[in-house]
A and B are shown apart, each in its own frame.
Chain A
Amino acid sequence: MRSLLAAVLLLAASAPAVAAGGEPPRPTLTVFAASDLAFAFQELVPRFEQAVGVRVTLVLGSSGQFAHQIAQGAPADVFFSADEQFVERLARQGAVLPETRTLYAQGRLALVAARGGPRLTELAQLREARVRRVAIANPVHAPYGRTAVEALQRVGVWAAVEPKLVYAENVRQALQYVQSGAVEAGVVALAVALGSGLDWAPVDPRLHAPLNQAAAVVRRSARPELALAFLQFVNGPEGRPVMKRYGFLLPGEF
């Protein structure tokens, strides 16, 4: 028994040394970005790396969770939120550099339909009986979920659609419910619908409060000028056409 314990301890002691050999060189810029930016940033990040000659680590996830983590010292250099409120809060807490706050896009909603299911072109059709389940992101914490609810209410189908709703953790998960055929339809971010291969129809942005997406450089960043350069790249002549292609409205256009 003693030798077994000793063997485990020895293994534990040697593990870090073994693993250290396989570790890639330390990345130089860490970008925390909302999951609706997945497709656009997968295209933009390599371009930025090539243009500026740095390595970028892209971390995609929930804006709200990133906001908590950055307040607690997460090693992000720049934060692209799907909701400007999180950036405002971090600025008040002093966790991001207030002068770098930038509105970089406005999100748009899209209606997506499952393969082999009914063809859908407008929200009002979700009322129909052939649509049994509709996926949206959780409106309590996901900005696209909140605006999906607003749009359904504005179109006047909320009472009929609410019992059909399935809440996903975020828009990407809502999209996956549709892709897998578990639900007939979903109201998700246009930015994720575009790359999904599903049939989609844009939702009129006037049906909901604007989805202002803001970014800022994190105060603890060791390379704030590089972080700002990435922010300006996304918002500049290189990034804007890509962002537009992935379904975002751009500053100056709304």
Chain B
Amino acid sequence: MDLFPLWLSLRVAVTATALTLLAGVPLAWALARRRFPGRDLVEVLVVLPLVLPPTVLGYYLLQLLGRQGPVGGLLAAAGLELVFTWWAAVVAAVVGSVALLVKAAQAGFEAVDPRLEQAARTLGRSEWSVFWSVTLPLAWRAVLAGTVLAFCRAMGEFGITLMLAGSIPGRTQTLPLAIYDRVQADRMAEANALALLAVGIVAVLVLGLRRLARLRY
């Protein structure tokens, strides 16, 4: 059996989760701790991908990022191809999963007692240091929960990926797309094997991460 979809999905989900963490944790912290213009708009924008059906969202993103689109045109002019490459699958996974991380982490940051952060500030700690030594250690369970949710959503992303990356075997056909493709082609044994593999690998990763987190703290 061709295992390319499995490797591709792992690579896409890991990359997407890393990008989601990089963008999502600061965003969640800002939403929890800062008042800034347009904050309400950002709150809504973050959860918007959960409201629209993924294929519809994928269609809009294709209009935006495709060669004829405003952003895609600029990329093309710069010699960059995004749509229908594996990076398009990463974009799809990030868009689909960012809300799950941000909302979980935001709730975690909001639950941290601001007086503890204030105490650290009175002891001369910088904002950066307050975040790393007080806020994040107290909120890490929520951040980890959000990360696990985001990773699983990224592994299972289907609709946005189908539109934005296509289902090209050996190039952009991720595990969920491959399973759907096999079902469509009436190759149920292969579909079942791939589905079992997806579930098994995510189970091992999620349980492993929990063990790791328990050992660490």
Bound complex: CA of A60 vs CA of B66, how far in Å? 20
Q: Is the CB of A57 within 8 A of B62?
A: no
A243 within 8 A of B: no
Q: A1-B137, A1-B140 are in contact. Are A72 and B168 (CB under 8 A)?
A: no
Bound complex: CA of A4 vs CA of B7, how far in Å? 22
Selected contact of B17 from candidates A3, A8, A23, A72, CB within 8 Å = A8
Bound complex: CA of A69 vs CA of B81, how far in Å? 14
B4 / chain A contacts, CB cutoff of 8 Å = 22-24
Selected contact of B21 from candidates A5, A30, A69, A75, CB within 8 Å = A5
Bound complex: CA of A171 vs CA of B45, how far in Å? 36
B63 / chain A contacts, CB cutoff of 8 Å = 72
Bound complex: CA of A188 vs CA of B168, how far in Å? 25
B19 / chain A contacts, CB cutoff of 8 Å = 12
Nearest chain B residue, comparing its CB with the CB of A75: B84
Nearest chain B residue, comparing its CB with the CB of A30: B168
Q: Is the CB of A15 within 8 A of B132?
A: no
B72 within 8 A of A: yes
B106 / chain A contacts, CB cutoff of 8 Å = none
A27 within 8 A of B: yes
B72 / chain A contacts, CB cutoff of 8 Å = 72-73
Q: A72-B72, A73-B72, A75-B84 are in contact. Are A3 and B216 (CB under 8 A)?
A: yes
A16 within 8 A of B: yes
Q: Is the CB of B216 within 8 A of A4?
A: yes
Bound complex: CA of A15 vs CA of B13, how far in Å? 10
Selected contact of A73 from candidates B11, B76, B168, CB within 8 Å = B76
Shortest B154–chain A CB gap in Å is 11
Q: Is the CB of B21 within 8 A of A59?
A: no
Q: Is the CB of A65 within 8 A of B163?
A: yes
B153 within 8 A of A: no
A71 within 8 A of B: yes
Bound complex: CA of A65 vs CA of B185, how far in Å? 18
Interface residues of A in 32-71 (CB under 8 A from B): 35, 38, 57-61, 65, 68-69, 71
B140 / chain A contacts, CB cutoff of 8 Å = 1
The 5 closest A-B pairs by CB, nearest first: A72-B66, A73-B67, A12-B18, A19-B11, A15-B11
Return 18 A-B CB contacts under 8 Å, by A number: A1-B140, A2-B132, A4-B213, A11-B14, A12-B17, A19-B10, A23-B4, A23-B170, A35-B184, A57-B170, A59-B168, A69-B66, A69-B83, A69-B163, A72-B72, A73-B76, A74-B84, A75-B168
Interface residues of B (CB under 8 A from A): 3-4, 7-8, 10-11, 14-15, 17-19, 21, 59, 62-63, 66-69, 72, 76, 81, 83-84, 132, 136-137, 140, 143-144, 147, 162-163, 166-171, 181, 183-186, 212-213, 216
